[in-house]
Amino acid sequence: MTIVRSSGPRTIERQTVAAATTRALREKILSGEIGEGEQLRQDALAAEYGVSRIPLREALRQLEAEGLVSFYPHRGAVVSTLSLAEIEERLLWPPTSVGAPSPRSVEAIIADACLKGLLMLQLHPPTLVSLAGERPVASVVSRWQARRGAWVTNLWHETIRVHDPIALRLLTLLDGSRTRTEIAAAMADILPAPDPAAREERIDEYLRQFGKHGFLTR
């Protein structure tokens, strides 16, 4: 009886730690803080989160089930990178390759897209602004997409190809944590200007374009 009683709370605690670790890692992956193809070193992650290897492995296996993490021989856990062909393979039926998964429900596909940050569901229409505030905010989806490529989706559900690397870099910074001055300083390496004031003016012009095309919420 003593063994049973002592093992129960430890199991619950481990599951709770694993769930918390899963959430933390999922947020880092979806936000782009941990990039696609990046190796997830278990010893470093365990030290960072202050957890043992057991709940960390459980977290990585859960993220693998969600499609966010893949395991490879000699490399271990790596943030997944899905090609267009792989995405099509998941959605097509009948399958085009041996061992392909059975058909997935629309609900499962939508849930998977939400978990990966490819789709954002809202109960109410998003609040759009044409003029950015002092701490500008762009939509979560557009920030996530801008870290990964040139195609970004605005809050009118239009997908736009952005060729300007400065605009893409700027989009990733619009999470509401920075003032316009701080944003301009963070862009100094990629946005040339004779002085900080001139750089802020260029930032303002980009922000006006983001507002015009439906990317800004604040």
pLDDT in tens, 64-121: 877 788 888 888 888 887 554 554 555 454 444 444 444 455 555 666 666 655 566 6
pLDDT over 90 (residue 202): yes
On whether both 205 and 150 belong to a single domain, the answer is yes
Tell me if 161 sits within 8 A of 150, measured CB to CB. Answer: yes
On whether both 50 and 106 belong to a single domain, the answer is no
On whether both 96 and 53 belong to a single domain, the answer is no
Structure tokens at 175: 């999470």
Q: What is the mean pLDDT of the chain?
A: 76
On whether both 151 and 103 belong to a single domain, the answer is no
Give per-residue burial for 48-72: e unless 16+ CB within 10 Å, then b: ebebeeebbebbbebbeebebbbee
207: pLDDT confidence band, cut at 50, 70 and 90?
A: very high
Q: What is the mean pLDDT of residues 45-69?
A: 86
On whether both 60 and 23 belong to a single domain, the answer is yes
Specify the residue for token string 């801008």: 146
14: pLDDT confidence band, cut at 50, 70 and 90?
A: very low
Specify the residue for token string 């392909």: 100
CA distance 159 to 146: 12
Could you report how far apart the first and last alpha carbons of the chain are, in Å? 58
Nearest by Cα to 79 from 120, 117, 118, 26:
26
Last residue of a domain, one of 35, 64, 79: 79
Q: Which of 14-28, 54-68, 91-105, 196-210 has the highest mean pLDDT?
A: 196-210
On whether both 67 and 91 belong to a single domain, the answer is no
206: pLDDT confidence band, cut at 50, 70 and 90?
A: very high
Tell me if 91 sits within 8 A of 110, measured CB to CB. Answer: no
Query: 94 is in which domain, residue-wise?
Result: 84-115
Tell me if 40 sits within 8 A of 60, measured CB to CB. Answer: yes
On whether both 59 and 31 belong to a single domain, the answer is yes
On whether both 158 and 98 belong to a single domain, the answer is no
On whether both 189 and 160 belong to a single domain, the answer is yes
Q: How many domains does the chain have?
A: 3
| CATH number of the domain bearing residue 51 | 1.10.10.10
Last residue of a domain, one of 61, 79, 97: 79
Q: What is the mean pLDDT of residues 33-56?
A: 86
> Does 89 fall in a domain?
yes
